[in-house]
Amino acid sequence: MDHNQTTGAAGESYPSTRRIQRLSGHLSPSEHIHPSIPPQLRLQACARVNLEVDTEKLSVYMRGKHRELQDKVYEYFNSKPELKTPLEISKDDHRELCMRQLLGLVREGGIRPFCHVFDDPGKYFALLEAIGSVDMSLGIKMGVQYSLWGGSVINLGTKRHRDKYFDAIDSVEYPGCFAMTELHHGSNVQGLQTVAKFDPLTDEFVIDTPNDGAIKWWIGNAAVHGKFATVFARLILPTHDARGTTDMGVHAFIVPIRDMKTHQTLPGIEIQDCGHKIGLNGVDNGALRFCSVRIPRENLLNRFGDVSRDGKYTSSLPTINKRFAATLGELVGGRVGLAYSSVGVLKIAVTVAIRYSLLRQQFGPPKQPEVSILDYQSHQHKLMPMLASTYAFHFATLHLVEKYSEMKKTHDDQLVSDVHALSAGLKAYITSYTAKSLSACREACGGHGYAAVNRFGSLRNDHDIFQTFEGDNTVLLQQVAADLLKQYKEKFQGGTLAVTWNYLRESMNTYLSQPNPVTARWEGEDHLRDPKFQLDAFRYRTSRLLQSAAVRLRKHTKTLGSFGAWNRCLNHLLTLGESHIESVILAKFIEAVQRCPDPSTQAALKLVCDLYALERIWKDIGTYRNVDYMAPNKAKAIHKLTEYLSFLVRNVARELVDAFDLPDHVTRAPIAMKSDAYSHYTQYVGF
């Protein structure tokens, strides 16, 4: 071949030649180091290519103390083929199977999640992840029974409610619902229209649906199985003035909806089926309408407000807003569970996509064997940062569960506020990321990813609603931004900062000064992989966004009012919320790396953590370049190093996904079986 056909006039190789050289480097890393790495770093690179990952040690560190509990769930369902969810199943059959699965797990499998909701939330969420990986509908149904219905009774009620209902909820003798959402109101819970009027003559509350917009909608367990519902309604008390009544705000009430013996709908209650959904069809969502349904006064869940026999209202909290905030604060566990479960879904999808990509071979250098599609840079770019994010989210949600567990024990006001914002942000960020990643994983598996048996369709459809229930993600990110702005205001008024936001003290001061022109040009690998540099960059971006958001809001409030100003800056505020949550995720990942006791495991986690951090910085490199936080040479170095780290992670990708320790009967996709995957696949279609 003529030399000029492969190189330019100055000896620069053409793109096609460079791609072949790069691919050859992937195949023989000890001889050919990634072309993006400068010569002075190639000896270091050569050593890192041979990084060894002890899958068992990494798995033990990842899954920790709840590993045996999750394995108990996996073993139970593996021993019960009749309880496995078939690929093709009708809505009605799926609902009945889901109920049998839950009853079998609790009554036969001896797994009782309800006590863990209060005594050890970490165990509960670990169970939720494992059960959801078996069938996401089952995980949601369990969450409705124990976290929502059971959690509302115990968290919002008092001793009399716990004594009466706990055991029957635990055994699923009392299957129940959580009736908050209405046809016209979802995120705006304070706008709910269902009413509960107190009748002092009979010592009862009368529950009414005043109009169609107040019909309770999308209520899990309502269409078929529920016998009770926690109904959120406006508490209306009689008064002796001209008004006649007073609205005490939204409260929660236990309302029986079906007869305990006959299972017939009780008088005054109308139940309709919400029908077939995009996903989660094992959950029987229904709509509830109430017409003068009478319940005893004791059915008010009265932890934060009570009504006496003569109709007098008492509360330890002075205002409607404080009572409402306390009520919702006790229900934050649902968001914690969704964030945690969403990571579990991402683990399954990433495992299937990476195992298949290692197995699948396509094209290659002339007259040489075909290569794994994961050896292509484009595929590494698609999947390796996703794998790194999965690890990052795992440690971030473990931290969230720890903070939530501490909050449940101490009831510390500051911790309640901190967990509320953290759970809102992590739920919004992680579920949105997972939803996008499910499509990317499907595409990464080509046509075989489109086969229903390989699970991407069901995972994507079942998970999609995670972005909406327990708080719409857009609304939740605004709550994060609002908390940051509150902390910003307190900072400049001399107040204290909450634990999660402490870094704002230092980074706000950094923001107010000009970027250092020397460090802006540093491009050495040691510097770029320094956790301090990475975390400073994340926090600098958040601080810039926070300060500029505060300035813009102050400016627009003068002409548009507070609501109009917020709406004018809304996209800015959503970016602020995401930026802060990314900073928290990275901080927790860095801490997890530093805590790891085994050197080889720590080295693997450090590699993955660096990829997560630098890939996120590169994705938002324009922000850093616009303010000269990073010079052009540094931005280019980050890009090259990110590509190289993706290459290194690819070399240990199998071990990293195996450390999730998901049995074949959990991943279930034939193309992702640990051995002989193609044989499993051909057998499935009948060969």
Binding site per annotation, positions for FAD: 181, 220
Q: What angle do CA 245, 247, 251 make, to 5 degrees?
A: 130
Rounded to an integer, what distance in angstroms lies between the CA atom of residue 263 and that of residue 194?
Answer: 24
In the chain, what is the straight-line distance between the N-terminal and C-terminal CA atoms, in Å? 46
| Annotated binding residues | 181, 220
User: Count of residues for the chain?
Assistant: 687
SS (H, E, C) 548-613: HHHHHHHHHHHHHHHHHHHHHCHHHHHHHHHHHHHHHHHHHHHHHHHHCCCHHHHHHHHHHHHHHH
Rounded to an integer, what distance in angstroms lies between the CA atom of residue 638 and that of residue 523?
Answer: 8
Strand partners, 176: 228
370 is known as an active-site residue: no
Cα separation values, 678 from 87, 133, 675, Å? 19, 23, 9
Rounded to an integer, what distance in angstroms lies between the CA atom of residue 307 and that of residue 128?
Answer: 36
Structure tokens at 113: 């999640």
Per DSSP bridges, beta strands 269-273 and 306-307 are: unpaired
Q: Are 450 and 442 in contact (CB under 8 A)?
A: yes
Rounded to an integer, what distance in angstroms lies between the CA atom of residue 37 and that of residue 315?
Answer: 66
The DSSP-derived string for 321-369 is HHHHHHHHHTTTHHHHHHHHHHHHHHHHHHHHHHHHHHH-B---STTS-
φ, ψ of residue 588 in degrees (nearest 5): -70, -30
Q: Are 589 and 604 in contact (CB under 8 A)?
A: no
Rounded to an integer, what distance in angstroms lies between the CA atom of residue 569 and that of residue 236?
Answer: 37
Nearest to 125, CA basis, from 139, 135, 138, 137: 139
The DSSP-derived string for 186-197 is SS-GGG---EEE
**Residue listed under structure tokens 């008010």:** 300
Q: Which of 129, 470, 523, 525 is catalytic?
A: 470
Rounded to an integer, what distance in angstroms lies between the CA atom of residue 333 and that of residue 335?
Answer: 5
Q: Are 464 and 436 in contact (CB under 8 A)?
A: no
Helices then strands (H, E): number in the chain? 27, 11
**Burial (CB count <10 Å: 0-12, 13-18, 19+), residue 512:** exposed
φ, ψ of residue 230 in degrees (nearest 5): -85, 110
Identify the helix (H) or strand (E) that includes residue 252: strand 245-256
**Residue listed under structure tokens 């199998």:** 654
Structure tokens at 439: 């499509």
Supply the residues annotated as catalytic.
Answer: 470
